[in-house]
């Protein structure tokens, strides 16, 4: 059965239900969010059957030919039963979220089977209570509100129930107004609207804000530079690398916490969520500047505990990344026992021992896997699927609260959301069914439900192998070393690089012909991979007279795709980087 996430139990029956002359009924007292979803389902049925389908509320036993949706009032229950017979369909759930997810399953069945739905019985419920997407909106791309709503719709279909947006300097407020155009940031009005939109789809929009490290643009600004751990910082690498690695607040300056308080108090009221992610990850500069020689663990914990106390004082559950505390596990006992650790590990072999460490210390945690779409034109399916599946399995083994699938935007956020879609859908699958390893069935289902064409998933795997021959991040590292550090760095160029040029270019041409937004984005990713591979060859001595012109043509087309779903943001940096790179041959 082509459904994602895969239902826990699906038993085929004999016969089929025809949508012709069907009636969609919701039981009296149904949650308004379920009613809205049922009306959307009615429209999907209507389109599939090419006929009018009636919609009504009922207090009576349904007649033949009805689709009945009903639920009890357990707000925490997310399971549902779906039965399809020749004489009718019933979605039955203990709570409104379960009824909503049953509706999502029906929508997928219509997409695959049209107006004749096969008889079956589905018993389904998630393994993890929290199933979220963590989406970077700070390292190059800032989505439009419309695009964020489209993402929320897709996440709802995939039965995700949490969305977090990674925000460093892309929330427009007083701190960033002097150097960030408002139309390149998320505004309070947009976030309030998105929060309500997500809530209507059983998605909790959890605020996430950098409050310690990863404050490069803020602390490079003259107004706040005095709060940086480094007093007179001179950039040594390309901007993308500097922004990821620096800057950290001076943990011992009281004005640092005053600034964090101001930022949190401006951001927190925009969300209905009872959670708040204070981040506090990768504080690389800690005790390496003004506070050199002081104990890093002590500096970290004393500052973080102030932020935790502030957020808890507003009645919020604190989430924070777990990487730094794992380096100072002797201090774990000093954290409040309700702080949720976001335990991230992004390799093909994620760290089981880290999951065990938090479990032994009785700290709640979410396992946080990755799409491996950062610093790539398209998600690395090889690394990402292994990482997501194994980390989900470790989470289930240790009884964690749930799972976040993280989608970062390192090195210019060149990868579009659509070019990471395979791994985002795979994250939904593993959040619902941790450890499930049925790759062939998954590829068939994602082709049918999300790509709309058989074989697309297999071609994305081809693209993954092509990109490994000439990865974007290697180019960024090489340029950074060449132009700023003045060091010699070998640019890896192998026999597979020429093959990558041809493979990716062929896929790009095939996908361009389809002329729809999803395949336009996939084509752009493939073109980017082909051009990056050509650039590797060019920089290592291969003559290529049309490379610069081909890059410019591509970047014009790429900008169209970018602007369709994103604000202008830092699109310009990609073109500047390419032009700079080509001068280094």
What are the average pLDDT values for consecutive 10-residue runs of the chain, which has 585 residues? 96 96 91 97 95 88 83 95 96 97 98 96 98 96 98 98 96 78 91 98 98 95 94 90 94 97 96 98 96 96 97 98 93 91 97 96 96 97 98 98 97 98 98 94 98 97 97 94 69 89 97 96 98 96 96 98 96 97 91
Query: Could you tell me if 135 and 164 are in contact, meaning their C-beta atoms sit under 8 angstroms apart?
Result: yes
Residues 334, 61: Cα–Cα separation, whole Å: 57
Q: Cβ atoms within 10 A of the Cβ of 584, count? A: 13
Tokens of 430: 């593993």
Which alpha helices (DSSP H) does 456-584 contain, by range?
Answer: 456-467, 472-480, 495-512, 517-539, 547-565, 571-582
The answer as to CATH 3.40.50.620 being correct for domain 130-437 is no
The rounded Cα 312 to chain-centroid distance in angstroms is 26
Residues 217, 240: Cα–Cα separation, whole Å: 11
What order do you get walking across the sheet with 80-85 strand by strand? 9-18, 116-124, 80-85, 88-93, 66-71, 23-27, 54-58
- Secondary structure of 286-350 in HEC code, one letter for each residue: CCCCCCCCCCHHHHHHHHHHHHHHHHHHCCCEEEEECCCHHHCHHHHHHCCCCCEEEEECCCCCC
Task: Classify each residue of 80-95 as buried b or exposed e, where b means 16 or more C-beta atoms within 10 Å of its C-beta.
Answer: bbbbbbeebbbbbbbb
pLDDT at 490: 79
Backbone angle region of 448, left / alpha / beta, with phi > 0 → left and psi within -120 to 50 → alpha? alpha
Query: Could you tell me if 376 and 463 are in contact, meaning their C-beta atoms sit under 8 angstroms apart?
Result: no
Q: Cβ atoms within 10 A of the Cβ of 251, count? A: 24
Residues 347, 430: Cα–Cα separation, whole Å: 16
What lies within 8 Å, CB to CB, of 494 at 6+ separation is 469
Q: Which CATH number does the domain 9-124 belong to among 2.30.30.90, 3.40.50.720, 3.30.379.10, 2.160.10.10? A: 3.30.379.10
Residue with tokens 């009785």: 362
Residues 167, 188: Cα–Cα separation, whole Å: 13
Give phi and psi for 476, each to the nearest 5.
-60, -45
CATH 3.30.379.10 residue ranges for the chain? 9-124
Beta-bridge partner residues of 276: 318
Query: Could you tell me if 96 and 87 are in contact, meaning their C-beta atoms sit under 8 angstroms apart?
Result: no
CATH 3.20.20.80 residue ranges for the chain? 130-437
Residue with tokens 């009281």: 254
């Amino acid at each position: 059965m082509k459904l994602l996430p895969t239902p826990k139990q699906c038993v085929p029956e004999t016969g089929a239900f025809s949508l012709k002359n069907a009636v969609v009924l919701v039981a009296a007292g149904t949650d308004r969010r379920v009613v809205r979803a049922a009306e959307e389902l009615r429209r999907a049925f209507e389109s599939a059957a090419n006929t009018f389908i009636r919609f009504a509320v009922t207090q009576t036993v349904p007649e033949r030919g009805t689709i009945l949706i009903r639920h009890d009032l357990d707000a925490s229950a997310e399971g549902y039963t779906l039965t399809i017979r020749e004489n009718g369909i019933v979605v039955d759930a203990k709570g409104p979220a379960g009824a909503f997810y049953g509706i999502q399953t029906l929508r997928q069945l219509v997409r695959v089977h049209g107006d004749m739905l096969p008889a079956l019985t589905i018993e389904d419920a998630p393994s993890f209570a929290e199933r979220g997407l963590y989406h970077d909106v700070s390292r190059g791309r800032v989505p439009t509100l419309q695009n964020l709503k489209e993402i929320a719709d897709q996440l709802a279909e995939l039965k995700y129930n949490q969305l977090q947006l990674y925000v460093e300097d892309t929330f427009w407020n007083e701190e960033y107004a002097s150097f960030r155009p408002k139309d390149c940031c998320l505004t309070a009005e947009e976030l309030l609207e998105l929060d309500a939109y997500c809530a209507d789809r059983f998605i909790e929009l959890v605020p996430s804000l950098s409050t310690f490290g990863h404050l490069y643009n803020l602390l490079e600004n003259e107004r706040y530079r005095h709060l940086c751990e480094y007093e007179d910082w001179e950039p040594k690498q390309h901007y993308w690398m500097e922004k990821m690695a620096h800057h950290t607040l001076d943990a011992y300056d009281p004005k640092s916490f005053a600034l964090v308080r101001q930022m949190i108090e401006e951001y927190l009221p925009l969300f209905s969520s009872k959670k708040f992610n204070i981040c506090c990850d990768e504080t690389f500069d800690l005790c390496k500047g003004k506070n050199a020689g002081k104990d890093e663990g002590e500096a970290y914990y004393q500052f973080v505990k102030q932020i935790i106390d502030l957020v808890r004082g507003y009645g919020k559950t604190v989430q924070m990344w777990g990487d730094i505390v794992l380096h100072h596990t002797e201090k774990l006992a000093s954290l409040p026992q309700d702080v949720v650790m976001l335990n991230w590990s992004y390799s093909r072999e994620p760290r089981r021992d880290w999951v065990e460490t938090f479990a032994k210390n009785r700290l709640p945690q979410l396992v946080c896997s990755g799409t491996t779409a950062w610093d790539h034109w398209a998600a690395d399916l090889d690394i990402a699927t292994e990482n997501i599946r194994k980390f989900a399995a470790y989470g289930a083994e240790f009884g964690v609260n749930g799972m976040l699938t993280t989608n970062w935007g390192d090195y210019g956020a060149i990868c579009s959301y659509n070019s990471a879609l395979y791994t985002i859908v795979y994250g939904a699958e593993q959040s619902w069914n941790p450890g499930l390893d049925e790759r062939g069935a998954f590829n068939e289902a994602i082709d049918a439900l999300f790509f709309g064409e058989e074989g697309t998933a297999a071609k994305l795997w081809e693209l993954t192998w092509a990109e490994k021959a000439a990865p974007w991040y290697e180019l960024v590292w090489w340029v950074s070393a060449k132009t700023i550090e003045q060091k010699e760095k070998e640019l890896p160029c192998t026999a597979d690089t020429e093959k990558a040029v041809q493979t990716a270019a062929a896929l790009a041409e095939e996908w361009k012909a389809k002329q729809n937004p999803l395949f336009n984005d996939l084509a752009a990713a493939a073109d980017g991979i082909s051009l990056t591979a050509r650039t590797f060859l060019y920089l290592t001595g291969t003559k290529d007279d049309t490379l610069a012109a081909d890059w410019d043509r591509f970047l014009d087309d790429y900008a169209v795709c970018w602007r369709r779903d994103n604000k202008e943001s830092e699109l310009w940096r990609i073109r500047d980087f390419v032009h700079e790179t080509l001068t280094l041959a």
